[in-house]
């Protein structure tokens, strides 16, 4: 059983994340898409909200598990018996940070490989920050996120304006 971990902030999950997830599902028997709790980012959606949106968005994939973790990614990989970490590479701008993380994680645990997957070109300019910003300014996010996320964004923006 080949297990991969797809870690991130997923604030919120976008069609770009799902594109990468789908590619990973074709390579591994099981993929655990998981929220890194110890990120320095201050998310718009709570952990519970993000998990719920992820669960809803990945419903079509029976091989996918949704989770959240604390601590080092390599320790989480050990615990889950994962052989790989999946990350998305959109542009050169992602590369430097991702290379540093991948090499450090390999130093910490040489048994886990980081696998980089490239999304469809149409998602190369997409990230959660831009999606949150468009939603906040009243723009249409239909092409960028699953319907359940679009609904949640509208609700969140409304609640913040109150």
**Residue 125, both tokens:** 């300019």
Quote the tokens at residue 70.
């604390």
| Closest distance of CB 67 from ligand ADP, Å | 14
For residue 49, what is the enclosing H or E element?
helix 47-57
Question: Which of these is catalytic: 30, 50, 128, 150?
Answer: 128
Among 30, 50, 90, 150, binds ligand ADP (CB under 6 A): 90
Nearest to 131 by CA among 32, 48, 21, 18: 18
DSSP 118: P
Length of the chain equals 162
Interface pick for ligand ADP out of 4, 5, 16, 150 (rule CB under 6 A)? 16
Instruction: Say whether 111 is catalytic.
Output: no
Q: How far is CA 23 from the centre of its chain?
A: 13
Nearer to ligand ADP, 4 or 158 (CB): 4
Restricted to residues 33-62, the positions that interact with ligand ADP (CB under 6 A) are: 39
Q: Which residues are catalytic?
A: 17, 41, 90, 128
**Residues at the contact surface with ligand ADP, assessed by CB under 6 A:** 8-10, 14, 16-17, 19-20, 39, 87-88, 90, 94, 119, 123, 126-128
């Amino acid at each position: 059983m080949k297990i991969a971990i797809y870690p991130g902030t997923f604030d919120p999950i976008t069609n770009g994340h799902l594109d990468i997830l789908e590619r990973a599902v074709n390579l591994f028997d099981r993929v655990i898409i998981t929220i890194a709790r110890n990120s320095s980012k201050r998310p718009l959606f709570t952990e519970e909200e993000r998990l719920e949106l992820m669960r809803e968005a990945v419903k079509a994939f029976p091989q996918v598990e949704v989770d959240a973790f604390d601590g080092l990614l390599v320790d989480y990989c050990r615990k889950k018996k994962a052989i790989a970490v999946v990350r998305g590479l959109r542009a050169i701008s992602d590369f430097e940070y991702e290379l540093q993380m991948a090499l450090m994680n390999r130093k910490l645990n040489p048994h886990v490989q980081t696998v980089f997957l490239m999304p469809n070109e149409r998602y190369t300019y997409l990230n959660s920050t831009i999606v949150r910003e468009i939603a906040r300014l009243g723009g249409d996010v239909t092409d960028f996120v699953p319907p359940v996320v679009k609904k949640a964004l509208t609700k969140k923006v409304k609640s913040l304006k109150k």
